[in-house]
Every structure is written in C-alpha cells, then in structure tokens.
Structure 1
Amino acid sequence: MYNSKIIGLGHYVPDNVVTNDDLSKLMDTSDEWIQERTGIKERRHGIKGKDTTTTMGVEAAKVAIERAGIDKDDIDFIIFATLSPDYYFPGPGVLVQRDLDIKTVGALDVRNQCSGFVYALSVADQYIKSGMYQNILVIGSELHSYGLDMTTRGRGVSVIFGDGAGAAVVSREEDTSKGILSSHLHSEGKHAEELSLIAPGMGKRWVTDIIEDNDPNDESYYPYMNGQFVFKNAVVRFSEVIMEGLQKNGLSPNDIDLLIPHQANLRIAQFIQKKFKLSDDQVFNNIMHYGNTTAASIPIALTEAWEQEKVKEGDLVVLAAFGSGFTWGSVIIRW
C-alpha cells in the first residue's frame, strides 16, 4: 500500500500587473466597487507573444521539479488542468511533455475549471496508490485575459479573473500516515449554464456560425456567470465537501492547520472561515493579488503558503474548490 505525497511546488504569474484602477479606465467600475464585492485589488494578465497557458505551466513545472529534487525524466505521467488551452485540441499536457523534453510518458488533460486542480490531484493520487506510477507532474494553468470582455458589459466577470500557473510533483510515499489521505469529488450538471462559456462548441455555437454571423453583440463566446446563484451554491458545497473529507478521516475543523480554498471570491472564503471558526492563520488567501486564476488558484496559493512557511511537516492541509459544472471537491493532506 502506498500514499501519494507532494514533494515539489512551483508557480508562475505574468509580469503584467493590472490594478482595479487600470480596469476603471476600460469600463464603468472602480477600485472600491471591485474590492467590496470580491476582495481583489489586482491581477496578472498575460503578455501577448510571451505567455500562453502552456508556457506558464512549463515555468511553474520547472520550479516544482527542481524543488522535488528529481530529474525531469523521473516524471512518469503528466496531468494538466485548465479551461483555457492553447488549442481547441490537442490539450496542453502533450505540449508540456514536448517543451520540457520529457520522455514519452502519458499526458492527461482535465477540464473541470475551478475544481480542475483538485480533480487532477485526485487522479494523480489514485494512479500512485495503485502502484502504476511513482512521480506525477500535476499542473493548473489559466490564461483568461485574452478571452475576456473588457468593457462595461463584461465587467461582472472580467474584473474577477487573472492569469497564472501552479504545479506540483506528486510522488509515492510508503508511510500511509503521510501525504494525501483522501479526495472527494462531486458534480451537479443541471446548473451547467449558470457559469459557462457556450461558444465555440459543437452543441450550441460552432466557429463557422460565429464567423458567418459576424455579430459584435454576440456574447456567447464570452464567459457568463450568474454571480449570486454561484455564490449561494459555493458556500454550501464548500462546507459540505470539507466536512466530508474531515469525517472520512475521523477529523474535525479544529484539526485543520491550513485551509486553502479555491480563490474565487474573498467573501466566500471569509464565509467558510467564519462558519468553521478558523483563525486568519488557518486560512490562506491570495486572491487580492491574483484574482481568480481558476485551475491555477489552489496550486499558486499552496506554493506561496509553503514558501512563506505556513505549511509544515505534520500539518493537516485541506484543499477545497467549487466552480463551473457545477463541480466541487476537497483533498485532505497530512503534510
């Protein structure tokens, strides 16, 4: 029997810092309006010609591999979580294999949006626990800014999202009291359209339809979010899936050393913190600096928490996410 353990972490964010005041020059918004609703002060936007979903993931992966103390050819498998791939197909997993010049290992893409990294980590965990692989590279990377409606029409979404990438090397751990103790995944597809990007897609609006229509008012190729509805569902599902993970392992909220929630909205994280009666030292948030980086948000936050020595050996670390799909999940880790 094996457990899986995170042995290396890394992250990358673009150099281009975009403040709330910068956005107020593009749309009818303000620093006060954005901070009050989301807690976000600034975010990073990719630099065209330099940053792509894959290149950001590669940079994060290089750091994670170096910190893991292994060679890139010790990687047995690649899992890449994103909603913003470089190409419609193939996915970025194979592009990472190419760009890192790793041997011809398998590469899997996960399309679970905000819960993508949690889903990807759960897959890596099971592959390692089964004995199939020993070292798996897990990446979450997003390049939202190229596809956002940067006008007043789109401000409800565009002020929230930022670009960046995080990566983890997950490896075999023979001490089953350490590492990933359990993961818990859920979905509720009846709410799929409440947080979605409809076009292009085979089911609704294909590329040829958009080109033929050439309609500047067509919003189907911009992200849509029913913000209040998403918020109400998120706070319920976050609470449920965190408790599910704790109870599975005979633990309680008092046992949490660090909770790293998906960085969707600071108000959601604060609601969960209050509900579970956690101190500021028990919850890590960095959304104020990066916005919502979707699949990248948890690995970026986990990396920064580790760099700041907020994660120590023996700590109980809880990761939790909720997002489009709806999908949600948690991972319980004994560091």
Structure 2
Amino acid sequence: MYRSKISGLGHYVPDNVVTNHDLSKLMDTSDEWIQERTGIKERRHIIKGEDNSTSMGVKAAEIAIERAGITKDDVDFIVFATLSPDYYFPGNGVLVQKEMGMKTVGALDIRNQCSGFIYALSIADQYVKSGMYKNVLVIGSEYHSGGLDFTTRGRGVSVIFGDGAGAAIVTRSEDDEGGILSTHLHSEGEFAEELALLAPGIGSRWVDDILADNDPDDVSYYPHMNGQLVFKNAVVRFSEVIMEGLMTSGLKKEDIDLLVPHQANLRISQFIQKKFGLSDDQVFNNIQKYGNTTAASIPIALTEAWEQGKVKKGDLVVLAAFGSGFTWGSAVIKW
C-alpha cells in the first residue's frame, strides 16, 4: 500500500462581494440578524455570464497543479464535487478535462453537498493508496447564487450561501509517516428532506410535466433547510467523526494542530471548538468572508490556512464536514 498526501492547493472566488447590507435591500433582514445567527458578514456571488462551477473549478485547479510542481499532463484522474453542476448531465468532471485540455483521463462527479470534498478526498486517497493513480485532481466548486430565493420568504437560506471553488492535488507520497492518515464517511438518509432541494427531478417526472406546472411561487424549486434540526445533528456528528478519525490513528484531541471544519455556520464551528478545548489558532474559519460554499468550503479554507502559514510540515490537520443527506465525514492528515 502506498500513502497519499496533498501536494498542492488552490482556490478561486468571484470578485463580486455581496454584504449583509446589500441583502437587506432585497429582503427583510439586517447585518446584525445575519451575523448573530451565522457569523457571516459577506459572501461572493458570480456575475452571470462571467463564471460557472466549471470555470471556477478550473481556476482553482490551475493554481493547485502549479503549487504541486506538476503539469496538467501529470494528472491521472479527476474528482469533482458539487451540488450545482453546469448541466443536469454530463457532470463537471468531464468539462474540466475539456477546458484544461487534459489527456483522456477518467473523471468522476460527487454529489454529497457539504460533505462533498471529504468524500472526494477519500476516493482520491484510496485510488492513490491502491497504486492505481499517482496524481488525482480533487475539486469542490459551487454556484449557489443563481438558485436562491432573494426575498424575505427565502432569507433563512439565501443569506448563508456563497459561490467559489477550491482544489487539491492528491499525490503518491514517499514519506511513510506523513500524508492522509485516514478518512471516515457516513450517511443517514432518514433526514434527507430536512436539507434539500425538494423539486422533483427528471428521474421522477417528465420535462413537459415540470414545465406545465412551473409556478414561480412554488417554494420547492428553492433549497429548504430545517435549521434547528441541522444544527443539532451537526454538532453531534462533527464531534463523533473527528474522534473516530483521531482514534483510528491512535491520536487524541490534544494532538490537533489545526481543525478545518466545513464552513456551514460559525456557531457550529465555535461549539465544536469549545467542546474540544481548542484555541482560536487551532481552528480555521473564513465563513465571515465567503459564507457557506458547500463542497468548496473546506478546500478554500484549507488553501487560505496554508497560504497564511497556519499549516506547516509535521502538523496534524483534521478536516470535518456535515451536511445534506445527512452525510458527514472527516480526514486526518499529517502534513
């Protein structure tokens, strides 16, 4: 068995900054209301026609590839995580392969929403460890702003989400001690409809039926979230899956140098920080600037943490996520 490591990181966010004050002009909300509930001050939104999930993913990937010291021709496989693909099908993985002019490598799309990057990273880790691939490109990219309800009716969801992308190169490591130590994945479909886009998909209704019934006031075409239930489950599952990762590697919470949680809600991150007794320097949050970017949130945060010198060789870095499905997961990495 080989060991894998993250050899390069990159991220991209649109230039268009949307503040809480900007949203207060569209709906009955305020900067104070949003910050109190989520910790978010601003987020980035695509200017329509300038970017999409694929183009943002490509920009993040190009940075990660350069930092890994490889070229696009060295990439053996692509794993693309998103809940906002550019087409119903095909997936964004093949679009990245086309846009970057890569060889005819395989491309896999992951639809695990907020846990998408952890799932994608775990898959890449297994492919590298098995010896099948040497360099796997993992992307998390989301274009939320085009599908949100920017009225008072939708404020509970729409103030939370932002657009952006992050990418990582998962590479075969020659270091027997460093790299990705373990990944852990879980789901609980009992709560699938508590955080979901509930509009029937093409798999259950014909297109002409959907068009005939299309009602602009039909809330099922916008994301739905049972916020209190999600919060209660998130804090439990975050704790469980972090401890699962540590115990698998014979580690303790005191060994954590940096925790990078999925940026769902600053209050969730603060709850986990307090429970694990971690200092502010041991937990990286950037939801204040970007909002919740779903599958992109962890790679964006991890990239920024690395750029700021908060991730150093030998550090124990823990990634953890929880979201729609419900799904959750963690990754324990010796940098």
Query: What is the TM-score normalised by the length of structure 1?
Result: 0.99
Following superposition, the deviation at residue 176 of structure 1 comes to 2.5
Aligned to 1:14, what secondary structure does the other structure show? coil
Residues 198, 205 of structure 1: 8 Å contact kept: no
- Paired position in structure 2 for 1:90: 90
Following superposition, the deviation at residue 203 of structure 1 comes to 5.5
Following superposition, the deviation at residue 258 of structure 1 comes to 0.2
Following superposition, the deviation at residue 93 of structure 1 comes to 0.2
- Paired position in structure 1 for 2:43: 43
1:240-255 equivalences in 2 (<5 Å): 240-255=240-255
Following superposition, the deviation at residue 2 of structure 1 comes to 1.1
Following superposition, the deviation at residue 47 of structure 1 comes to 1.2
| Distance (Å, rounded) in 2 between the aligned partners of 1:144 and 1:98 | 23
Letter in 1 for 2:104: T
| Distance (Å, rounded) in 2 between the aligned partners of 1:28 and 1:106 | 46
- Paired position in structure 1 for 2:327: 327
Residues 79, 108 of structure 1: 8 Å contact kept: yes
1:227-246 equivalences in 2 (<5 Å): 227-246=227-246
Runs ≥4 residues deviating over 6 A: none
Following superposition, the deviation at residue 184 of structure 1 comes to 0.3
- Paired position in structure 1 for 2:62: 62
Residues 2, 175 of structure 1: 8 Å contact kept: no
Following superposition, the deviation at residue 211 of structure 1 comes to 1.5
Following superposition, the deviation at residue 177 of structure 1 comes to 1.1
Following superposition, the deviation at residue 200 of structure 1 comes to 4.4
Letter in 1 for 2:117: F
Count of equivalent residues = 335
Determine what percentage of the aligned residue pairs are the same residue: 81
Change (3 A) 1:118 1:206: farther
| Distance (Å, rounded) in 2 between the aligned partners of 1:91 and 1:303 | 24
| Distance (Å, rounded) in 1 between the aligned partners of 2:76 and 2:154 | 41
- Paired position in structure 2 for 1:209: 209
Change (3 A) 1:206 1:147: farther
| Distance (Å, rounded) in 2 between the aligned partners of 1:221 and 1:69 | 43
| Distance (Å, rounded) in 1 between the aligned partners of 2:285 and 2:76 | 32
Letter in 1 for 2:155: R
1:1-335 equivalences in 2 (<5 Å): 1-202=1-202, 207-335=207-335
| Distance (Å, rounded) in 2 between the aligned partners of 1:147 and 1:264 | 18
| Distance (Å, rounded) in 1 between the aligned partners of 2:291 and 2:74 | 33
| Distance (Å, rounded) in 2 between the aligned partners of 1:247 and 1:142 | 32
Following superposition, the deviation at residue 207 of structure 1 comes to 4.0
Query: What is the TM-score normalised by the length of structure 2?
Result: 0.99
Unaligned segments of structure 2, at least 5 residues: none
Aligned to 1:284, what secondary structure does the other structure show? coil
CA offsets 1:150-179 (integer angstroms, 9 cap, x no match): 100100000000000000011001223110
- Which region of structure 1 is more displaced relative to structure 2, 225-234 or 213-222? 213-222
Letter in 1 for 2:227: G
Aligned to 1:168, what secondary structure does the other structure show? strand
Following superposition, the deviation at residue 32 of structure 1 comes to 0.2
Residues 201, 207 of structure 1: 8 Å contact kept: no
Following superposition, the deviation at residue 221 of structure 1 comes to 1.1
Residues 200, 206 of structure 1: 8 Å contact kept: no
